[in-house]
């Protein structure tokens, strides 16, 4: 996901209690609160950390037998946030609460970032589907989805979602169902979200209700660190990591993470960042802990204020072959190159400065280091480049002078 995108962070399952908590992990997140029930939650205020939340939209059928409401609250600091929803006309267990939080690296989300919301409902029906199409005007937005069904039954009938990722499904009391989902909208345009509930018909007069709310990223979204490149390559018995930034604002440090399966990462190095730099800055690290085969690397940048951003993964193949010295250098066209043990075929290639290949020799896999003599064709004089290929990967490049 792009760094200037709305991203999902945390979720807390709904409760039939008027007070519950959500824990956010990043500063400047937007907490989206689902406050659903029968027949009218919302008569009392919704507060977070003692402050009033922003009411986004209410969906209810005309008979007012079921209702879904969505609120938002800007949480400046990461941590535990206490949410209180009051329903003075009815007591538990006739309402359900839940919340999800979203963030954007490098900017502050507020209630003003909810730029579009809409509702749909069906009257006096238990079960079936309700859907809505909503317009997303800004790329990399997030759609928060909140659905409620009053089916009058004691059995739980979970919601299913089309066009969105389910977060939870809840049941309480005499047939109040509530479900939340979200949809990442990478492109602008119209998005249709459908919520379906399988409750059978009954003698009551229930209703289906749906609220959609679009959260847009900050505009402009200014990243504290703009990465120019992040590369890796085989070194002398190691993997060399290189990255550079175009600019940095209030950067604190980089965490370099490695994985052997591309899924589970752990930090192998922490490097101090420039802090503030308007010119390109370069960083290097040598990883001697790489394993034979493919190693995956991920770079995380941490700001002075605790914000972070994670850059795309790069991968590098590695063999434990260690390339030693080339000697003598200069030489008369005959020299020795020291190669380490390798599980792959190693190839010695010598090229002139135009890139023309003048010599090639394959070395079969071996378990010990060894020295190999290279005799260039007669007439080879000047400056040449000697490279060693380990399988398909270049593991060394040496300049030699032939007199």
Q: Is the C-alpha dihedral spanning 147, 165, 26, 223 positive or negative?
A: negative
* For the chain, domain boundaries: 7-215, 225-318, 323-402
Q: Tell me, what's the pLDDT at 90?
A: 53
pLDDT digits 0-9 by tens, 312-350 = 678 787 655 444 567 788 899 999 887 777 777 888 999
pLDDT digits 0-9 by tens, 198-243 = 888 765 667 889 999 999 998 766 667 878 888 887 766 678 888 9
Q: Tell me, what's the pLDDT at 336?
A: 87
- The domain 225-318 having CATH identifier 2.60.40.10: the answer here is yes
Classified by CATH at the fold level, domain 323-402 comes out as Immunoglobulin-like (2.60.40)
Decide which of 90 and 190 is more confident.
Answer: 190
Phi then psi for 113, rounded to 5 degrees? -80, -10
* Mean of per-residue pLDDT scores for the chain: 84
pLDDT digits 0-9 by tens, 242-300 = 899 988 888 899 999 998 887 788 999 999 999 888 889 999 998 878 776 778 898 98
Give the HSE-up count for residue 214: Cα atoms under 13 Å, Cβ half-sphere.
Answer: 25
Q: Inform me whether the pLDDT recorded for 34 exceeds 60.
A: yes
Q: Tell me, what's the pLDDT at 130?
A: 92
Decide which of 248 and 101 is more confident.
Answer: 101
Q: Inform me whether the pLDDT recorded for 113 exceeds 70.
A: yes
Ramachandran category for residue 175: left, alpha or beta (phi over 0 → left; psi -120 to 50 → alpha):
left
Domains 225-318 and 323-402 belong to one CATH topology: yes
Q: Inform me whether the pLDDT recorded for 89 exceeds 70.
A: no
Q: Other CB atoms closer than 10 Å to residue 160's CB: what's the count?
A: 14
pLDDT digits 0-9 by tens, 350-389 = 988 888 899 999 988 876 667 889 999 999 999 888 887 7
In a 10 Å sphere around its CB, with 0-12 CB exposed, 13-18 middle and 19+ buried, how is residue 278 labelled?
A: exposed
């Amino acid at each position: 996901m792009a760094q200037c995108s709305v991203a999902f962070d945390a979720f807390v399952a709904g409760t039939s209690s008027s007070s519950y908590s959500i824990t956010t992990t990043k500063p400047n997140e937007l907490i989206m609160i689902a406050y659903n029930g029968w027949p009218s939650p919302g008569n009392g205020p919704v507060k977070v950390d003692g402050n009033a939340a922003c009411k986004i939209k209410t969906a209810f059928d005309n008979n007012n037998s079921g209702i879904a409401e969505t609120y938002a609250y800007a949480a400046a600091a990461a941590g535990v946030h206490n949410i209180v929803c009051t329903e003075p006309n009815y007591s538990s267990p006739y309402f359900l609460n839940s919340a999800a939080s979203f963030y954007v690296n490098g900017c502050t989300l507020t209630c003003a970032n909810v730029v579009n919301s809409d509702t749909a409902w069906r009257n006096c029906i238990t079960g079936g589907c309700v859907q809505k199409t909503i317009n997303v005007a800004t790329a990399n937005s997030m759609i928060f989805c909140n659905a409620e069904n009053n089916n009058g039954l004691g059995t739980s009938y979970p919601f299913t979602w089309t066009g969105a990722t389910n977060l939870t499904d809840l049941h309480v009391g005499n047939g109040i169902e509530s479900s939340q989902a979200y949809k990442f909208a990478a492109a602008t345009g119209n998005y249709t979200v459908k919520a379906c509930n399988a409750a059978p018909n009954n003698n009551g007069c229930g209703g289906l209700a749906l609220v959609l709310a679009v959260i847009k990223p900050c505009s402009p979204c200014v990243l504290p660190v703009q990465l120019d490149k992040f590369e890796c390559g085989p070194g002398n018995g190691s993997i060399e990591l290189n990255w550079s930034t175009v600019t940095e604002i209030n950067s604190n440090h980089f965490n370099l993470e490695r994985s052997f399966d591309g899924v589970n990462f752990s930090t192998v190095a922490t490097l101090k960042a420039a802090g503030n730099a308007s010119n390109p800055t370069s960083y290097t690290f040598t990883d001697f802990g790489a394993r034979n085969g493919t190693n995956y690397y991920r770079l995380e940048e941490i700001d002075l204020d605790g914000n972070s951003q994670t850059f795309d993964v790069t991968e590098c193949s590695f063999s434990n072959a260690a390339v030693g010295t080339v000697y003598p250098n200069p030489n008369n066209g005959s020299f020795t190159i020291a190669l380490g043990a390798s599980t792959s075929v190693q190839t010695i290639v010598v090229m002139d400065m135009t890139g023309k290949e003048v010599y090639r020799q394959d070395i079969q896999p071996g378990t010990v280091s060894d020295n190999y003599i290279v005799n260039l064709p007669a007439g080879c004089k000047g400056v040449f480049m000697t490279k060693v290929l380990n399988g398909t990967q270049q593991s060394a490049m040496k300049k030699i002078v032939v007199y």
